[in-house]
Chains A and B, each alone.
Chain A
Amino acid sequence: MDIFIQQVFNGLTIGSVYSLVALGLTLVYGILHIPNFAHGALYMLGAYITLTMMLLWGIHYWIAMAVSVLVVGLLGVLMDRLVFHPLRNAPPIHDKIAAIGILLFLEAFAQLIWGADYRTMETPYGQVVNLFGMTATTQRVLINIGAVVVMILLYLFLKKTYAGSTIIAMAQNREGASLVGINTSRVAMLTFMLSGGLAAVAASLSAPINLVFPGMGHLVILKAFVIIILGGMGSVPGAILGGYILGFTESLGATYISNDYKDIIAFLMLVIILSIKPKGLFSREGF
């Protein structure tokens, strides 16, 4: 039973990170219908920037994270302006290839600057605490709390602010949104900003319990894709729910099935889903 509770907590922790990454991906997909393969690279850069701030200038973890969110967010905007905006009317295959190009570039860039080594991120929250009869580091607790806080903030932003409502309007109906006078390219930039920021938060929160290296985004982004297919491409609640579901499944799978193959679980899930429902779990009728 103890093991079970521990695994549930682990699942929550992993799930929080997955949800945050998937949220960024799903927002961009909802607005622009681009599967942004470069999102994993934003995640990786988020971790590196936080790490560099902390190591180089001794900046506090939270401040470093804030800077990272800003920088990666702006990078997202830059990506939109330089690449996705010019491609907005191109055939869908082009966006994907362009995104892959960006991914390759950013990874090589990270490797050039920071090298290919695996690095660890030390935070002030390494101590162990006891919670409901199980042990966890403060960092893990912080991941959970941090993710929930970010999700609530995102929710408030989308529901309560004008800028947020333009995002929702555009996700629901692109033509309609531009007809009622919403500046769609501004919304696109805003969405990329949010998406990059979310990736940076996710990476900075989880880096202390994982490792930081140029390829760290690969598995995460693949899983995030599985999640948004699971939760419905473009759906915000779907991304959150899907993230936690995958987190739990993996955590329990690692304990009760096989640790070696736990990464396959996500992909098998996807294979099964798409075998049954080729347009994803929550596809709308028609297209």
Chain B
Amino acid sequence: MLMETKKLTKQFGGLTAVNDVDFTIEKGKINAIIGPNGAGKSTFFNLLSGTYTPSAGQVFYKGQDITKRPPDKIARLGVARTFQTTHLFEESTVLDNVIVGHRLRTSSNLWDAVFRTRRFKFEEKKCRDKAMEVLEFVELTHVMDEQAGSITQEEKKRVAFALALATDPEVVFLDEPTAGINPGETEGLASLMEKMVQRGITVCLIEHKMKMIMKLADKIMVLNYGEKIAEGTSEEIMNNQAVIEAYLGGGASA
């Protein structure tokens, strides 16, 4: 168990987007979160990565309470994520986009930059090497020098993966990594996730593509109206009455 939430809750004004969710993320596995639109999946991610502060409940990382930590501190612990919409800096090259991902593992500051100290040179190289390494991992070296605005949607998703991997994470959260991508390319991204797990990185993803999730995930949690309605393996989820109703009946838990 790498991460754990206890009675995690988030309210926006009167709306409870995430309600009392207990969840554990298993180390070295592919954990998935599914649920209808507006179920609170992205919000749940935002709570885990520190982008939002929970209204109630707790988040633990390796047994440590990280509930109130800011996102940059959480990232430094080894938690990385992608967003539902990719924000790349379109006017820069792919490589330039990824280099900054390793910034958190460096300590050179303004002084080093202005005086070009040894630390500066060492760390610039370190970040560049890291960027090359992760771009190779996501199989993007061929577009490394293209402008990020000019690459395909699928390549952009891979860049987002690379950026997350450049932080040297132990766990990555992927928010709908295959949205807007054709089936063939989805396969490719799925095998990339498997490759991450083989490298010892824990994966947690949000997905709408059921077939893919059922094949890929070791463990699935289903959210509906902010509440956890089911948790288990693919088979367990597929045969779960509440889940079937939520997806077919469109609001069984309301």
Contact = CB atoms under 8 A, between A and B. Distances in A.
Interface of A: 284-286
Interface in B1-50: 11-13
B226 to A, nearest CB: 15
Interface in B223-249: none
A286 B42 CA distance: 13
A285 B17 CA distance: 12
Contacts of B13: 284-285
A286 B11 CA distance: 10
B246 to A, nearest CB: 24
A284 B11 CA distance: 12
B252 to A, nearest CB: 25
Contacts of A284: 12-13
Contacts of A285: 11-13
B83 to A, nearest CB: 14
Interface residues of B, number: 4
Contacts of B52: 286
Contacts of B11: 285
Nearest to A287: B12
Contacts of B12: 284-286
A286 B13 CA distance: 9
A284 B14 CA distance: 11
Contacts of A286: 12, 52
Ranked nearest first, the 6 interchain pairs of A and B with the lowest CB-CB distance are A285-B12, A286-B12, A285-B13, A284-B13, A286-B52, A285-B11
A274 B62 CA distance: 37
A284 B12 CA distance: 8
Interface string B117-156: 0000000000000000000000000000000000000000
A285 B43 CA distance: 13
A285 B52 CA distance: 10
7 contacts: A284-B12, A284-B13, A285-B11, A285-B12, A285-B13, A286-B12, A286-B52
A200 B11 CA distance: 42
A286 B52 CA distance: 8
A234 to B, nearest CB: 15
A92 to B, nearest CB: 14
B77 to A, nearest CB: 24
A285 B54 CA distance: 12
Interface in B81-96: none
Interface string B45-68: 000000010000000000000000
B42 to A, nearest CB: 12
Nearest to A285: B12
A285 B11 CA distance: 9
A235 to B, nearest CB: 15
Nearest to B11: A285
A118 B12 CA distance: 51
A163 to B, nearest CB: 28
A284 B13 CA distance: 8
A46 B13 CA distance: 40
B228 to A, nearest CB: 22
Nearest to A284: B13
A222 B11 CA distance: 35
B12 to A, nearest CB: 5
A286 B55 CA distance: 12
B84 to A, nearest CB: 15
Nearest to B43: A286
B53 to A, nearest CB: 10
A71 to B, nearest CB: 41
A286 B14 CA distance: 12
A163 B80 CA distance: 47
Nearest to B17: A286
